[in-house]
Every structure is written in C-alpha cells, then in structure tokens.
C-alpha cells in the first residue's frame, strides 16, 4: 500500500451547527489528540474545514483504527503529500489510483497556492492523461468510481482517493453529561455507546444486591466499561447498595408489583444522584414492550416518580438490532456471560403489564422508603474505570 502521510478528518454533521461550530471543532480536536496519546510522534493540526493527523513515524493502520472510535468524525481520507512538481504528482496519482477498485475516475484538482504554474483545469487534464495512458480506466465526471483529489498548497501537493466512514455523531462532551443505569445485560452497554456517539459523556449507576448478586457482576461491569473506554477514556461507576430496599419491597408488596416498585426506587435514586453529579439526564436500556416493566403502561407508572429527562436510546429498537450493535462494539460476548441481576433474581411469575397508581401508592405507604433511599445514596461506592 502507498505509504500515506496524513489522515484528513471531516466533521460531517458539525457543519450545520453555525456559531457552535468553533467549540465543536475544538472539542473534536482535543478528543482526537487525547485518543492518540499512545502515538507520541503523531501531530494533530486543526484547520477551519478539516483536522489533519500527521502520521510521522507511527503505524497508519493503528492510528486510523483509533480514530474510527472517535465520535463526531464523518469520514477520514488517507492523504499522500508530495512535492509540488507536476511530474511527481502525475506519478503519485497513478500509483494511488492503481490500488483502488473501479472502472471510472475523475481528477478534482484545487489550486490553493496561486504561485503554482498550472491552473486547476490544467492539472486535471495532465493527470487524467497520465492515467488514461497507463490504465484501462475511463473518465466519468458525474459519477466516478474513484474520485481522486489533488490539493496544491503552500506546503506541498496533497493527493487522496481512499476515504473511510467515521463513527459519525457529535464530539464527546458537547452534549453534556448523563447518568446511565447500567445492569450488565446486553442493552445498557449499547445505550451507553449510542449516548457517547451523540456527544454525551456518561457516568454509570448500578444497583447491587449482595448477597443475591455476586461480586462477579461488578467484574463484568468493569469489563464492559473497559470496552466502552474506547469511546470515553474514563467512566465513573456509582454502585448503589440496593439490598435493603429490595428486601423491603419483597416483604411488603404483592409479587406482581415488585418489579414496578423496584424500578420506581431505581428511578428515584438515579434522579437524585444525577442532580448531585450535575448530570442533565438519566438514561437506560429500556425498549418499549421488551418485558412487562417496559410496556407504555408500565413506563407511566415508573416514570411518575421523576420529572427529570429520561433518555431511552433503545426505545424503539428490536432485540436483534440491539444485539447487532453489541456485537459490533464488542460488548455482546461479555454481556451474555451468565450473571445474576437484581431484576431477574426475584422475577415474579406474573409481573403487572399495566400497574395501577392506586395500588402502587398503597404498597409504597407500608415502608419508609425515603429513609432507605437516603441511606442508599449516602453509601454509594465509586469506581473509576479507565
């Protein structure tokens, strides 16, 4: 493969953001620099329209792979920089285009450096002639298989025809911070990924019910968050002691309402923790209709305890779509490791799909849950996963 010198990063959706654009680019620039800190000789250069990553002595594929995990990147072109000599440019263009697949091409020259002796059109023609002479490719100016760009700048001539799609979304951090309810199943890590891709920094809350749930669940969460560290280098995990609340619920509630009450307690605690941690929303892996506690009727009953924004990135996704994303990002195999979740351990035989608010109030009045919630919040264990 041609030894490319530079990766040219395009912003995509950012360009529609008007006056926020500068902040976005600055955030993306810092995120890119941060993600490449294991490559000491790489240089990151910020320009108005692109970010250039100079590979220098590092391995191009490794650097490219890191960039594919950075949100807010629309696409990345592999760029070859050569001296501003038309003979060198012609030869390089030919070398690059020979590595591509397709039958048609188009040369798109831009002369940024006006001291260069040929105008864009002359460059287009000279290079196209060279390619027509030495390959069986044909020119197609409207819909070429291989568009080859040549930019003449002060520092040199930049050639590129290989472009790969980036992760898309927004740069991490521009969307603020959100508290994600993280269970260790398949869904919540996918929700985490979708939030981060949208530019939202996450922090996690997990409800642990030892001895019903084991330390193995925590190890599993750590492994999942390590995978997600690819998108966010440091993730805070808040572990809430939930056993006492859970015992109180099961001792004082009709079995069919246990899950409803449990979810309401989780929402109450998450809302309070989100406020304390300056998170602007609570998120989870709920998907409408997936289980009894996720019907719209159940969501009314559960959501009633909070007026905070609740983001459900998976709300309308099929399990299969969710599993595909989990596989793609590498969390699936960890998620399917057998483990106990507080929701599954006490899973009632007949959970209510349409819980009634009157009945809920009756069951919740039997215990001083406010004190139990306060106690749980005061005894959170924090781990930083990085």
Would you tell me which residues interact with ligand ATP (CB under 6 A)? 181-183, 185-188, 205-207, 284-286, 290-291, 293, 341-343
Q: Which of 156, 171, 173, 185 binds Mg ion (CB under 5 A)?
A: 185
Minimum CB distance to ligand ATP, residue 191 (Å): 6
Minimum CB distance to ligand ATP, residue 194 (Å): 12
Tracing tokens 């605690």 back to the chain, one arrives at 269
User: Tokens for 148?
Assistant: 């080859």
Q: Which does 286 bind (CB under 5 to 8 A by kind): ligand ATP, Mg ion, none?
A: ligand ATP
CB closer to ligand ATP out of 35 and 188: 188
Region of 109-117, 124-132, 184-192, 225-233 interacting with Mg ion (CB under 5 A)? 184-192
**Window 99 to 128, contacts with Mg ion (CB under 5 A):** none
Q: Which does 295 bind (CB under 5 to 8 A by kind): Mg ion, ligand ATP, none?
A: none
Minimum CB distance to ligand ATP, residue 345 (Å): 10
Minimum CB distance to ligand ATP, residue 246 (Å): 10
Q: How far apart are CA 127 and CA 152, in angstroms?
A: 13
| 377-383: Cβ within 8 A, 24+ apart | 377/240, 377/269, 377/272, 377/273, 377/276, 379/240, 379/241, 380/238, 380/239, 380/240, 380/241, 380/273, 381/238, 381/239, 381/241, 382/236, 382/237, 382/238, 382/239, 383/222, 383/236, 383/237, 383/239
CB closer to ligand ATP out of 70 and 343: 343
Helix (H) or strand (E) holding 258: helix 258-276
Minimum CB distance to ligand ATP, residue 30 (Å): 29
The total of other beta-carbon atoms located within 10 Å of residue 41's CB is: 9
**Window 191 to 230, contacts with Mg ion (CB under 5 A):** none
Region of 120-128, 170-178, 242-250, 335-343 interacting with Mg ion (CB under 5 A)? 335-343
The total of other beta-carbon atoms located within 10 Å of residue 276's CB is: 12
Residue whose C-beta lies closest to Mg ion: 185
315, 316, 320, 325 alpha-carbon torsion, rounded to 10°: -60
Q: Which of 35, 183, 246, 298 binds Mg ion (CB under 5 A)?
A: 183
Q: How far apart are CA 339 and CA 182, in angstroms?
A: 14
Instruction: Answer whether 58's CB lies under 8 Å from 144's CB.
Output: no
CB closer to Mg ion out of 157 and 245: 245
Minimum CB distance to Mg ion, residue 188 (Å): 7
Instruction: Answer whether 189's CB lies under 8 Å from 331's CB.
Output: yes
CB closer to ligand ATP out of 149 and 188: 188
Q: Which does 293 bind (CB under 5 to 8 A by kind): Mg ion, ligand ATP, none?
A: ligand ATP
Q: How far apart are CA 133 and CA 126, in angstroms?
A: 11
Binding residues for Mg ion (CB under 5 A): 183, 185, 341
């Amino acid at each position: 493969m041609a030894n490319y010198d530079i990766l040219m990063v395009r912003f995509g959706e950012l360009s529609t953001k008007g006056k926020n654009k500068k902040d976005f680019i600055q955030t993306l620039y810092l995120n890119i620099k941060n993600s490449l800190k294991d490559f000491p000789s790489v240089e990151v250069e910020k320009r108005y329209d692109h970010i250039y990553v100079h590979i220098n002595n590092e391995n191009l594929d490794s650097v490219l792979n890191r960039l594919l995990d950075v949100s807010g990147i629309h696409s990345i072109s592999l760029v070859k920089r050569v001296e501003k000599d038309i003979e060198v440019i012609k030869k390089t263009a030919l070398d690059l285009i020979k590595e591509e697949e397709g039958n048609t091409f188009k040369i798109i020259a831009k002369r940024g450096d006006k001291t260069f002796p040929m105008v864009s059109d002359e460059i287009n023609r000279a290079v196209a002639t060279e390619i027509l002479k030495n390959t069986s490719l044909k020119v197609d100016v409207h819909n070429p298989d291989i568009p080859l760009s040549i930019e003449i700048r002060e520092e040199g001539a930049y050639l590129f025809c290989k472009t790969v799609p980036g992760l898309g979304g927004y740069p991490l951090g521009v969307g603020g911070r959100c508290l994600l309810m993280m269970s260790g199943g398949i869904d919540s890590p996918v929700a985490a990924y979708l939030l981060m891709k949208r530019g939202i920094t996450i922090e996690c809350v997990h409800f642990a019910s030892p001895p019903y749930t084991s330390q193995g669940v925590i190890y599993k969460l750590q492994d999942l968050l390590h995978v997600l560290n690819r998108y966010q280098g440091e993730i805070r995990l808040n572990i809430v002691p939930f056993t006492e609340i859970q015992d109180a619920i099961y001792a004082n509630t009709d079995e069919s309402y246990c899950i409803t009450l449990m979810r309401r307690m989780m929402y109450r605690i998450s809302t309070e923790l989100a406020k304390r941690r300056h998170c602007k929303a609570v998120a989870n892996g709920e998907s409408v209709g997936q289980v009894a506690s996720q019907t719209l009727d159940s969501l009314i009953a559960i959501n009633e305890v909070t007026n905070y924004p609740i983001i459900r990135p998976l709300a309308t996704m099929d399990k299969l779509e969710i599993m595909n994303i989990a596989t793609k990002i590498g969390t699936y195999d960890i998620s399917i490791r057998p483990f106990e979740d507080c929701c599954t351990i006490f899973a009632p035989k007949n959970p209510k799909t349409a819980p009634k608010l009157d009945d809920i109030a009756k069951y919740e009045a039997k215990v001083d849950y406010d004190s139990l919630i306060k106690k749980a919040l005061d005894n959170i264990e924090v781990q930083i996963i990085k």
